[in-house]
Structures are given as C-alpha cells and as structure tokens.
Chain A
Amino acid sequence: MKGLIKKDLLMIKGNLKYALLFLVVFIIISLEDVSIIYYIPTFISMMIFITTFSYDEYNLWDAYAISMPVSRKDIVKSKYIASIILIFIAVIFTIIISLIIGLIYDNINFQEIIANVLICAASIIILEAIMFPLIYKFGVEKGRITIFVGTFGIALLIGFLLKNFNVDANNFIVFFDKYYYLIIPITLIIVLVISYLISKKIYLKKEF
C-alpha cells in the first residue's frame, strides 16, 4: 500500500508547478484580504488530488494496479491516506504562510489562524469524503458534476430547514465554538470511515 500512496504523491509532484502558480496568484490576492489564504492551499490540494483520479482513469491504471500484489481494498485505502497526507501538507503550509503574512502586518493571532485553518481543512476533507465514492461510482467527470450539484443541494436544504423550522442557528454556533476541537475530529473520523466503506464496496465490484 505504501507504494500506491507514493505513486499518488509522485504524480502530484509532477503537477506541482501548476499548483505553485495557482498559489502565487492567490497569495497575491490574499494580501488584500488575509482570510482567503486559509482556504486556498487545502482547496488547491483537493483539486490537484482529483487529477490523480483523472490520470488513473485515462491510463486505465486500476487494471494494472489490481494485477500487482495489492488488494482492491488497499487501492481504495491508499487514495484516502494520500489525500489526507496532502491536506496535512497544505495545512502546515497555510500556517506558515499565515504567520508570514501576520508578521508583515504585525498582527499575529495564532489561535485564530489555527482554528481557521483547521475548519477549512475539515470542510475540504468532508468534501473529499463525499466526492470519492461518487468518483468511484460514476468516474471523475460525472463525479465532479455530482459534487457541485450535491453541495448546492445541501446548502439549499439547510437554508430551507433553518427558515421553515425556526431553528436557532446561533445556539448551534455558540455550541460549536465551544467544542469545535472535539466536534471536528469526531465528525471527520465518522465521515471518513463511512465514505471509505462505501468506496470499498463500490470498488470491490468494479471491473476494468
């Protein structure tokens, strides 16, 4: 499985120059509005990671992977691990950049930086957790469309619920603020495990 993770990370290395280009552009933008920097590296890491699926699909890699001494289960698992490693790298990177920008503006609030970065990373991980099973089921192109439709749908649904059922969002926000260091990891673990189990089930029945 280590080899499969290496393969995804080496592929990303091959695409790194585009990622860096993106990043430079966004850092320039974020000099105007610092808060944007929290989202960008993790978001880019997701976009780049999705391209590994595209290349896998284009070069029919999975057939070759299955013929190697790795189980189908490990092929799926390695995707999750590689993507999380990448997000982790993006998080570290974001923290460093945020500190540098903070230094420039002589305004460092370390706690705020960490909280923001973690929430951004968590939302990207959840997004990926929704996306991966869809990609395994429908392929990268359709999977990508499904995710946009899906996210929009969920946003609409939440808006609808809040408006019609008189839910007090403020209570929730206060609660979340107090316990986010617990809520985030627990949610992430649950979401990732469910996502992995669904992806695995799809992949075990897939033919290439």
Chain B
Amino acid sequence: MNKAIEIKDLVKNYPESFTLGEINLNISSGEIIGLIGENGAGKTTLIKSILGILLKNKGEIKIFNKNLDKNEVLIKEDIGVVLDNSFFPEILCPKDLDKIMKSIYQNWDSLLYFKYLNEFNLPCNTMIKKLSKGMKKKLEIAAALAHHPKLLILDEPTSGLDPVVRSEVLEIFLKFIADEEHTILFSTHITSDLEHIADEIIFINKGKVILNKNRDELLDNYGILKCDIDKFSSIDKNDYITYKKNKYDYEMLVSDKAKIKKKYKDMIVDNITLEDLMVLIIKGDKNEGIN
C-alpha cells in the first residue's frame, strides 16, 4: 500500500510551554485516520507542523513519498484542508473564492465547487461574515474538496455542525475515501464521528502519540473491566492499563477483552467507546506502558 504521509522524528518545541514529539507516523493512502486527544494535547500543532504553518524544530515529513520541504508547492496541489478558525477573509463571498482558487489550484473545478455550494444550500454572493458557523464550515469543506485533492487534512471539520449536517459531511468524506488513492487525516473532539468512519485512530496526549491502532482492533480488543471497590485489590495489576475510581466501583481499561472475560468470570467487561478510552487514559491512574 502506498504511503500518504510519513513523519519521522518530528519535534515542535515551544520554549517553556509545550513540546510536540518526537512523532513518528506512517499513514497509508486509502484510509481515514482519526486524530484524537484533549484540548491542548497537540492535535492542531501536529496538523500545522505537517502543513508548514508552524516551523518544525526537527524531523522529516514526506507526503506522497516526496520530501515536503523540497516539494512543498507541488505536494500542496493535492492537499485539501479545513483548519480550525483560519479561512478566507470574511469580506469575500463564496463566488469570489472560485475566482481566487481558479488561479491557485491547477485542478480547481468550478463546476464541482458550485455543485457543493448548491448541495449545501450556500449562497454565492453573501459575505462570509454573514454566514452561520455551520455554513462557514460547509464552505470550507467545499473549498477543500473542489480541487480534487488526494489527501484531506481536516482540523475539527465537524465542530459547530448540527447532527444532520454532520452526517451529510461524513457521508461526503466516505464518498471521497472510496477512491483508494485518497486519504483523510481528521482531528476531532467528537469521537463518535470517528467510530463511524475512521480506519485508524491516533491518540495524542501531552504532545506524544500514545496510541496508534486500527479502529476495529481497538474497539474489538479494548474494554472496560468493572468491579466493586472491595474486589479491586484482587485484580492483577498487569491486566489493566489504567484505572479510575468511581463512587461505587472501579473502571479499568483492558487491552484484551476476551482474555479478561475468561479470567474474571464474575465481573463485568464492557465494550469501549473512543470517548471512554480517552477519559480512562487521560483521567485514569497508571497510564504508562501502553502499547
């Protein structure tokens, strides 16, 4: 399988506040990659470092098997982006964007762009500042798709969208990914979106990748072991990754649901959602040694 993004030893350092990395990632083309993590974990920093909006301190990034620093303009022809908070100046209208983008992207497809505007019920001649938050997001998505990119890099593309539009947008992403050469890197807080569409989940915490797994594998194998407070001490510490003490019971994150079910027959082992996983890893105790 071709690699869409290869990141080697990427470090982005903010003196005295935050360090991202070292990040090593290989993203295959044809997949939807979900980037999760709490606010300030480094999702946006990672995305902006990949795009060259932030200047990395160290490391190498290859996109479509080409070195990004040396082929930046060429590579970006094939990338569509939605950034959190950053877009065209608000006094332009959607129709202006068509005129501008036509001269920026070689493959800009005006017909497709206006088709999306139509599909999303977006007005052509209204200034961006008069659009609602959801409409603005949809406009950003239309602009990201209209030059037939091979890679979509999306920072919180579904935030601010109501459930109906969100499912429309996810539907579009699924259609996009039907082409095997296409790839999506997608960061979000709304982890349920990823449960529907992501192939791989990358979990970032405090600037480090702490989990990088296939979604099915993750949801099939990981689970939550629940037990009463008095039984907690009887559980082997090697069997769980983190634990969280609640009022009446303990919840433990386990990485091999089937094995744990056999071993602790009298206890409950629940399926896990990405949200549970995030909370247990971030809020739980003993969160070292996750593989």
A-side interface residues toward B, CB under 8 Å? 2-4, 6-7, 10-11, 14-15, 52, 55-56, 58-64, 66-71, 205, 207-208
User: Which of B83, B89, B103, B106 is the one whose CB lies under 8 Å from A56?
Assistant: B89
A-B CB contact pairs (8 Å), 21 listed: A4-B104, A10-B96, A11-B91, A55-B90, A60-B85, A60-B86, A60-B87, A61-B87, A62-B53, A62-B86, A63-B48, A66-B53, A67-B51, A67-B153, A68-B104, A69-B73, A69-B76, A69-B106, A70-B73, A207-B48, A208-B53
Do A63 and B92 have beta carbons less than 8 Å apart?
A: no
Instruction: Give CA–CA (A192, B102) in the complex, Å.
Output: 29
Instruction: Give CA–CA (A60, B101) in the complex, Å.
Output: 18
B264 at the interface (CB under 8 A from A): no
The interface residues of chain A, by DSSP majority, are classed as helix
Do B77 and A11 have beta carbons less than 8 Å apart?
A: no
Contacts of A15 in B (CB 8 A): 91
B88 at the interface (CB under 8 A from A): yes
Contacts of B116 in A (CB 8 A): none
Instruction: Give CA–CA (A141, B74) in the complex, Å.
Output: 35
Given A66-B52, A67-B76, A67-B79: A3 and B104 within 8 A (CB)? yes
B124 at the interface (CB under 8 A from A): no
Do B127 and A14 have beta carbons less than 8 Å apart?
A: yes
Given A68-B76, A207-B53: A3 and B86 within 8 A (CB)? no
Instruction: Give CA–CA (A52, B73) in the complex, Å.
Output: 24
Do A69 and B103 have beta carbons less than 8 Å apart?
A: no
Given A14-B92, A205-B55: A59 and B86 within 8 A (CB)? yes
Instruction: Give CA–CA (A3, B96) in the complex, Å.
Output: 11
Contacts of B75 in A (CB 8 A): 69
The residue of chain A having its C-beta at the shortest distance from the C-beta of B73 within the complex is A69
Contacts of A69 in B (CB 8 A): 73-77, 104-106
Q: Say how far B146's CB is from chain A's closest CB, in angstroms.
A: 12
Instruction: Give CA–CA (A70, B76) in the complex, Å.
Output: 8
Q: Say how far A76's CB is from chain B's closest CB, in angstroms.
A: 15
Interface size class of B (residues with CB under 8 A): 35 or more
Instruction: Give CA–CA (A55, B129) in the complex, Å.
Output: 11
The interface residues of chain B, by DSSP majority, are classed as loop
Given A3-B104, A6-B103: A63 and B74 within 8 A (CB)? no
Q: Say how far A67's CB is from chain B's closest CB, in angstroms.
A: 4
Chain B 203-256 interface residues, beta-carbon cutoff 8 Å to A:
none
Contacts of A70 in B (CB 8 A): 73, 76, 104
Do A207 and B55 have beta carbons less than 8 Å apart?
A: yes
Instruction: Give CA–CA (A63, B49) in the complex, Å.
Output: 11
Instruction: Give CA–CA (A55, B56) in the complex, Å.
Output: 27
Q: Say how far A121's CB is from chain B's closest CB, in angstroms.
A: 26
Please list the 4 inter-chain residue pairs (A to B) with the smallest Cβ-Cβ separation, ordered nearest first.
A3-B104, A3-B103, A55-B89, A60-B86
Q: Say how far B59's CB is from chain A's closest CB, in angstroms.
A: 16
Q: Say how far B113's CB is from chain A's closest CB, in angstroms.
A: 14
Instruction: Give CA–CA (A30, B103) in the complex, Å.
Output: 40
Instruction: Give CA–CA (A116, B102) in the complex, Å.
Output: 39
B81 at the interface (CB under 8 A from A): yes
B54 at the interface (CB under 8 A from A): yes
Do B92 and A10 have beta carbons less than 8 Å apart?
A: yes
Chain B positions 51 through 81: 1 when the CB is less than 8 Å from some CB of chain A, otherwise 0: 1111100000000000000001111110101
Do A61 and B76 have beta carbons less than 8 Å apart?
A: no
Instruction: Give CA–CA (A6, B96) in the complex, Å.
Output: 9
Given A3-B103, A68-B105: A61 and B89 within 8 A (CB)? yes
